[in-house]
Amino acid sequence: MQIIRNQRVEEDTWRHAPDGEPLAAGQVTVSLKRWLEERDTLIARGDVGVRLAPADELADLLADLPTITLIVLEFPDITEGRGYTQARLLRTRHGYSGEIRATGDVQHDQLSFMQRCGVDSFVVREDRDMDDALAAFGEVSVRYQPAADDETLIFHRREQG
């Protein structure tokens, strides 16, 4: 399966291990519930990412952030926005520097905004065109409010001349 990572199409090397199923070899993601239940084993294994559902509490994961390479935020439908907050808090308040991935009902018009919140990889729905999705990153060129991406805001550009 292909994903967008840092605005490039790449092959995904991560596989999700559903709760109750054995972990496959290689890079795997697990639910927060499974992470909390098998934490020590998963940390010792390495290359384990954590999937966060919208209702999951970041506080349950904070102490382990340095050991987690990938956090996958689930966007079950277009009306669900808690993943934006989770991404922004991970980047700005908690200093998470690993990969943050959006998955689920990730739509073209959300990609640029998700990126501004700190998401750096995206699982685009199979019925969506990857080239069209990549074009989304260049559609918004002027920013009015600060975000996790630290991009220069329009009024600062004006001050700089």
**Residue 95, SS3 per DSSP:** coil
State which residues form the domain around 115: 2-160
Phi, psi of 59 (to 5 degrees): -55, -30
Those residues of the chain that have pLDDT short of 70 are 139-161
Check residue 148 and give its pLDDT: 55
Using an 8 Å Cβ cutoff, are 116 and 152 in contact?
Answer: no
Percent of the chain with pLDDT over 70: 86
Helix (H) / strand (E) element for 133: namely helix 130-135
What value does the CA radius of gyration of the chain take, rounded to a whole number of Å?
16
CATH number of the domain enclosing 50: 3.20.20
Check residue 156 and give its pLDDT: 46
The total number of structural domains that make up the chain: 1
